[in-house]
Amino acid sequence: MVKIIRLIILFSFVWGVSPICVVANEEHATADTLAPKKFNTGDLIFDHIKDSYEWHITTIGHSHISIPLPVILYSKSNGFHCFMSSKFHHGKESYLRFHVASEGEFQRKIVETMEDGTEVRPWDFSITKNVTSLFISIILLLFIFLAVAKRYTENFARAPKGIQSWIEPIVVFICDDIAKPSIGKEKYQKYLPYLLTSFFFIFINNLMGLFPFFPGGANLTGDISVTLVLALFTFALTSFSGSRDYWVHLINAPGIPLWLKFPFPLMPIVEIMGVFIKPFVLTIRLFANMTAGHIVALGFYSLIFIFAEKSIFAGYGISVLSIAFTVFMGLLELLVAFIQAYVFTLLSALYIGLALERHPSHD
């Protein structure tokens, strides 16, 4: 247990300090220019939490070290184009008629410059940083669970060890404390694979988002499109699994005064709205909590450079406090990574359980 605590503290410290080193390198890179840019906290934060067409590793002097990623575009005027993001040279140059917009409606997105000078968005199927992180997490999950499954297949009665001893308690926890109480002992097994997949997918990606080095650092669960897809899976599963009583009670719930149903169907409208509010809550809860954690931590990083612009001594002085808060945020984010995966899984199980519930006749 002591070793685990030490690893968590070390991980939090590295996670807290390493982005500061990256920012320091970026500031150093502009120190020798004729008109050095003033430090912009907003740019720093959005550059770290937003998706990108390359995987930035670090900055050494004037050199940016990054992994270029495939760009796949479809233009209505001249068809498909496939090339590597290194063609853009960090978004400052155009390739063919495409470039990464630095401002405006399509900021940080690839746009196409038409012959009349207007900019339009092509169909973008690029393998971005978040998509690459998604593939890495899928491969990691497959590796973990295939290894655990193989060990169970070889000798089920053998005591768990290694990664199996880490995974088994979590699986038992989700089964006994989430699936069974929320869905019921008779039907929980049908939905347990989805709940386990949701939990471990979110949890692994939350942890990878906290790790500051490749293949970590992508803010996948802080991307609202990813959380929306996860919520839509729960919504579809809930809708298609819903019992007859579930749908009937949305329109004609028992115990509600008749005047709230007809001719002014206030309660049916509220109940139907609730069906669509549930996936919205799942989407926003996960997205907002994971993004907020990154923003707060990056805000602490920024204090060093904000104070350093006023005085180098103030920058050094605040750095002690900033790093201390960053390490604390690292420990807190590790807890949040688990809690958010747990909450999403729990709410999904509750929604499914409510949809499956059968009610006694009220005739």
Query: Could you give the angle at which helices 2-29 and 266-310 cross, rounded to 10 degrees?
Result: 60
pLDDT tens for the 363 residues of the chain, in order: 444 444 444 444 444 444 444 444 444 443 344 345 677 777 777 777 888 888 887 777 667 778 888 999 998 888 898 988 888 765 456 778 888 887 777 888 888 888 787 888 999 999 999 999 999 999 999 999 998 888 888 777 777 777 888 898 999 999 999 999 999 888 889 999 999 999 999 999 998 888 877 888 888 888 899 999 999 999 999 989 888 777 777 777 666 666 666 666 777 787 788 888 999 999 999 998 888 888 888 887 788 878 887 878 777 888 888 888 878 887 888 888 999 999 999 999 999 988 887 665 544
User: Which residues, in sequence order, are bridge partners of residue 66?
Assistant: 56
Tell me how far CA of residue 28 lies from CA of 113, 141, 175, in angstroms. Answer: 33, 39, 52
Q: Provide the 10 A C-beta neighbour count for residue 319.
A: 19
3-state helix, strand, coil in the chain (%, to 5): 65, 10, 25
Question: What is the distance between the alpha carbons of residues 324 and 285, in angstroms, rounded to a whole number?
Answer: 27
Judging by beta carbons within 10 Å of its beta carbon (0-12, 13-18, 19+), is residue 263 exposed, middle or buried? exposed
Tokens describing residue 204:
């692994």
Query: Could you give the angle at which helices 188-210 and 312-356 cross, rounded to 10 degrees?
Result: 170
**Entry pTM:** 0.80
Q: Are 82 and 72 in contact (CB under 8 A)?
A: yes
